[in-house]
Structure 1
């Protein structure tokens, strides 16, 4: 795999910003990266990868976005055994339970979490969030 594909959904732009910053970290680590809105993601192409990077904000009652991201995750979930998965997303309320649930779901599907857990930001990334996201991108690149 020469290129990291980051598949994400973003409603307000916060998760899209996170994806871009993570991509910067991946590039700084010397790897190629492409950002793919989940509505444009080809499941068959994504499942060819050994490493899958997924981003989605918390929605509603701390859940994944239900019209595009949840169906995508449900479709790939059964094929994640033995793959590395990196998770990220933003939230505006709550404590990040949706990320903990998503992590457990991906582990139950047999995947290995990159960095041992997902990364979350409250609202738009700023300050130390940016450094953490870039570092997460470097960790993703090193896990290839």
Structure 2
């Protein structure tokens, strides 16, 4: 099995979450494709069995710009793909993740983790443990 963990991070919080997700992927025995959204190859990611995407909430609870650009290029390839999302936020209630999972569903993806996994500001040990478990999802 091959899993991609692609993320964007502005303060390091979502990056910490992505690192924990990647650790879980490795523990699951899957092959890992790990990259920042600004450097990821959409074709390589689309070839994975499971795609796990992370972005902080920006502005009015929207995706970070590099993730929005990457996701827009990946979206046409997501029909029937297993996808999960995660990210960190400062204020709000997680609307950016709900909107993202709605976009995934509309693209035909199989969303593996409901409305996504979120952590407010710096992820604590419990949030990082959830991220690690997310990496084991299949």
Q: Structure 1 stretches (4+) deviating beyond 3 angstroms?
A: none
Q: How many residues align?
A: 138
CA deviation profile, 1:95-141 (whole Å, cap 9, x unmatched): 00110000111011000011333101001111311221122122x2x
TM-score by length of 2: 0.92
Q: Which runs of 5+ in 2 are unaligned?
A: none
Alignment map for 1:61-76 (pairs within 5 Å):
61-66=60-65, 68-76=66-74
Query: Considering only aligned residues, what root-mean-square deviation do their CA atoms show, in Å?
Result: 1.4
Q: Which runs of 5+ in 1 are unaligned?
A: none
Q: Does 1:78 pair with 2:76?
A: yes
Alignment map for 1:89-100 (pairs within 5 Å):
89-100=87-98
Query: Is this contact kept in 1: 2:3–2:49, CA < 8 A?
Result: no
What is the match of residue 44 of structure 1?
Answer: 43
What is the match of residue 27 of structure 1?
Answer: 26
Distance 2:16 2:36 in 1: 12
